[in-house]
Structure 1
């Protein structure tokens, strides 16, 4: 896979190193000469240019890239890069870094963003995921598919404890993707039974989250049955 990363700071370089280790081809773009540190990610290609300028992206041959990652520390720049990548070069997948949570609403397909990554939101969601039992926690939003990655730790008094995965009538369009237990990751096979303290990971549309919460957790874990599921702050 060919990936272009706008922003060669610590975040961009870390992403590049991980992708290179997984066998992908990576180009790092940054307008700051001090950010061009090819010795830190020797397997990557580097381009000294402003990724917000169309001519720079033409030089980077973005039309040949499978994915563009906008990883600068400037939300405005990340939005511009995503929009140009999608509208001018037809890049199949764009991922954009959100630096300030107040700007999250802008990172949508209207600005060419397929996936937005908000570090503050992810960190707070992971904290909730670690300490919360019986409440649905939204970990990640997949803008392109209008779905979320959500997690719930199954309480001991859940009506689904001991029930086989294949016998559960999950809400429409909800997919159980993994069961996390102390002994590792379990594939949610038809005959596998759910256990108390299982961490269940789902891909679910937002309008199915409330139904999923009610299915998994008993009434005493729901302060207000009429209230919608609230994303992690």
Structure 2
């Protein structure tokens, strides 16, 4: 997969290194000469230029990228990059960094954003996930709120203990995708029994989250 990252600051470089370690091709676009440091991520292709300029994106060949990540520290820049990538170059997947949570409402498909990543929201979700047992916690939002990754940890006294996954009467727009049990990652099968302490991960429409709770007895 070929990925373009707008913004080669600490965040952009860190993302680039992770993706390269995963075997992906990465291009970093940076407009500030002081942050243009190809030796810090030598395996990436580097472009010195403003990702808000159509000419820079054309010269970089961004239309050949499968994913564009707008990772600068400026929300205005991230939104413009997202819009250009989606509307002018038809990039299939656009991921944008949210710096100020007050601006999160702007990060929609109207601005070309497929996935908005808000660090404060993710950190808050991780805290909730760590301390919440028996309650549904939203971890991540996909497709501008059309679907969410949600988690529920079964308490010690769960009435679901020993019952198979097939007993869960989940709503139509929800799917149990993973069970985390100790150091195991389980792809659930209908006959798999549930156990106290299981972390159940669902992908679901936001409108049916209460139905998930009811299906789990909460």
Give the TM-score band, short-chain normalised: over 0.9
- CA drift of 1:217 comes to 3.8
- Does 2:129 align with 1:129? yes
TM-score, with structure 1 as normaliser: 0.90
Give 1:157 shift.
3.3
Structure 1 SS opposite 2:105: helix
In the alignment, is residue 26 of structure 1 matched against residue 26 of structure 2?
A: yes
C-alpha contact (below 8 Å) 1:25/1:44 kept by paired residues: yes
Q: For structure 2, which runs of at least 5 residues remain unmatched after alignment? A: none
Q: Distance in 2 between matches of 1:145 and 1:135?
A: 20
Indicate the residue corresponding to 2:115 in structure 1: 115
Q: 1:183 to 1:27 in 2, by over 3 A?
A: closer
Q: Which residue of 2 aligns with 1:45?
A: 45
The answer to whether the 8 Å contact 2:82/2:112 transfers is: yes
Provide Cα deviations, 1:212-232, integer angstroms capped at 9, x if missing partner: 1122244xxxxxxxxxxxxxx
Secondary structure of 1:39's counterpart equals: helix
Counterpart position of 1:98:
98
Question: For each residue in 1:93-135, what CA deviation from the matched residue of structure 2 results, as whole angstroms up to 9, or x when unmatched?
Answer: 0000001111111111111000010001000100000000111
Q: Give, in whole Å, the separation in 2 of the partners of 1:65 and 1:114.
A: 15
- In structure 1, the partner of 2:2 is 2
Distance 1:202 1:24 in 2: 27
For structure 1, which segment, 30-39 or 183-192, has the greater mean C-alpha deviation from structure 2 after superposition? Answer: 183-192
Instruction: Tell me the CA shift for residue 184 of structure 1.
Output: 1.8
RMSD value over aligned CA atoms?
Answer: 1.2
The two structures have a TM-score, normalised by structure 2, of 0.97
